[in-house]
Amino acid sequence: MNYENPDALVTTEWLAAHLENPKVKILDASYFVPGGVLPARTQYEDAHIPGSIFFDINDIADKSKPKEHTFPTKDIFAAKVGALGIHNGHQIIIYDHLGGACAAARVWFMFRAFGHNNVAVLNGGRTKWEEEKRPYSNKSPIMITEIFEAHGPINRLPQKEDIFINIGANSFQVLDARSSGRFEGTEAEPREGLRGGHIPESRNLPFLELLEPDSKTWKNGKKLRSSFANAGIDLGKPLVTTCGSGVSACALALGAYLAGNTKTTIYDGSWVEWGADKSLPIETASLPVTNYSASKAPNTDGDF
């Protein structure tokens, strides 16, 4: 498929041949928008790929923060992942109901952020698995707690202060995974209390444009590179992705990785944080950047 980094994906054929491999751990990381974890867990309980474990992104998170599925600390991640019966010797395969974009790519990003690179997303996810009439199960595996050692996060995740200071400085590119209507402020946000629009100077690439519409498989490398280029992104330069709440931002990070950018990171606060803070500037289709002054930039807790 002409990917620069093909290790991020496995095929349904590969997974079917490794269902009984004890060194492989399969995670169902489905997450519905709207709906969240509950309908995803119900779907898992009704039928899932045999041997797979449900990965709850709202549970494996820093619950001391107000945002759902806030990126966990390394200690939280290590404890929660170990409780799922995962250790550092396992190869992790993750799938969801949308080809990996909701929220398998986020879990892929999390494992890599904490130093576990032996991780991949099932290309096509449940959609392709079902189309090929491959087996399902409604039996949950028995989980025996293991020791999982997390390192990092390997790269510090940017905070809103970093994003703010980057406006005008352009130390890194910012790419938004939301729909074009939400990005331009012409479509209502699905969450209450959020302004419409986008971070000034950010670019837009709706995450579904990275997937083939019918199979929900990832587009080939050439198409991915074209999508990023058409969005005005240089994959040779630092890239931070954002979205509504930090889930589909990881789909852009996975797409960028497949296309050759190995250092993409995410703004975990995303629009839930930025759009709710009226002190932060926004742009829309009809409104240029407002309320911006570099002298008002908040203090940061370190360089990005």
Annotated catalytic residues are 243
| CA distances (Å), origin 275, targets 64, 110, 242, 270, 281 | 20, 24, 12, 8, 9
Structure tokens at 10: 């496995």
β-pair type (173-176, 239-242): parallel
Q: SS3 for the chain, per residue?
A: CCCCCHHHEECHHHHHHCCCCCCEEEEECCCECCCEHHHHHHHHHHCECCCCEECCCCCCCCCCCCCCCCCCCHHHHHHHHHHCCCCCCCEEEEECCCCCCCCHHHHHHHHHHCCCCCEEEECCHHHHHHHCCCCCECCCCCCCCCCCCCCCCCCCCCCHHHHHHHCCCCCCEEEECCCHHHHHCCCCCCCCCCCCCECCCCEECCHHHHECCCCCCECCHHHHHHHHHHCCCCCCCCEEEECCCCCHHHHHHHHHHHCCCCCCEECCCHHHHHCCCCCCCCECCCCCCCCCCHHHCCCCCCCC
Asked if 55 and 127 count as a contact pair (C-beta separation under 8 A), the reply is no
- What does R_g of the chain's alpha carbons equal in angstroms? 19
Residue type, 162: D
